Amino acid sequence: MKHRAYRLFKKPFFGRFVRPWRWPENVEQSQWRRLSVASASGATLSALLAPAHAAQAKGAVLMAHPMGVAAKGFWMKYGHAELLRQAGYHVMLFDLNGFGESTSSTMDFPLDVLAAGLALQGQYPDLPVAVLGASMGAAMSLCAMAQPAHPFKAAVLESAFPTLLHFWSRYPIPKLGIQLSKILYPAGERRLRPTHAAQRLMGRPELLLIYGEADQFTPVKDGKLLWLALQGKTPAEFWQVPGAEHTHAYAAQPQDYALRVIGFLDRHLLAERLAS
């Protein structure tokens, strides 16, 4: 009954993205291993794991997708997963609950990120773990890092909204739902508010925030609100990307993206390995 009520509540937000999941074209499926992950949200998450192309991996990266029918396939479709694998990182893709091949449960998406991150850490217990997220995946990853058990030493967060209302205010029904939730279930809304999580991050993970100058959904000014909330709480870099639309910094500036993102992960995950 609880999950049925959540499915009804979630429909105005995510209903148009509930479609049968398909592998992106031109992806070699044999390179990916399927995993199922139990989340404390009540969902069973569908995940895919692929090894680094290098003989000795530098670390492992969880990839948290933006909203969309592609779900975890976003990272294969646009090349991010292969970029990381070529750079020497194991990667894990997963569907947030209600998306792709994962079952639907509550709105506690940070618990999905946490569960997937811990599952990835379990696969590679001797390697440092990072998370790379886009839009909803980025925002929920930041919220997950307010959980004491999270495994992330570093995070690359692209197009993360500072609050749910910043993203959904242009959509009347979702906006009303969020406003009601702040009254009827304020603790639940706070758990999904990145600026709230920014004040409560655990473990001081290294962060790289990425925002596109052509992003109409999470503009640079929204990104700077989140960056400001993080000041003094954890090390956070900010990259403003010329010409980049929502979640597409890699497409807009592929060489700079590779240099900045891989350089960031190399610095902080390799430093973590040396420290341990």
Q: Which fold has domain 2-19+33-275?
A: Rossmann fold (3.40.50)
Compute the residue count for the chain.
276
Per-residue confidence (pLDDT) for residue 1, from 0 to 100: 46
Secondary structure of 131-171 as H, E, C letters:
EEEECHHHHHHHHHCCCCCCCEEEEEEECCCCCHHHHHCCC
- pTM score of the predicted model: 0.93
- The token duo for 246 is 């929502």
Per-residue confidence (pLDDT) for residue 15, from 0 to 100: 59
* pLDDT, averaged in runs of 10, over the chain (276 residues): 55 68 92 97 97 94 95 97 98 96 92 98 97 98 96 98 85 74 76 92 96 97 97 94 98 98 94 63
DSSP string, 223-266: HHHHHHHHTTTS-EEEEEETT--TT-HHHHSHHHHHHHHHHHHH
Domain edges within the chain: 2-19+33-275
**Cβ atoms within 10 Å, residue 171:** 13
Per-residue confidence (pLDDT) for residue 124, from 0 to 100: 97
Per-residue confidence (pLDDT) for residue 236, from 0 to 100: 96
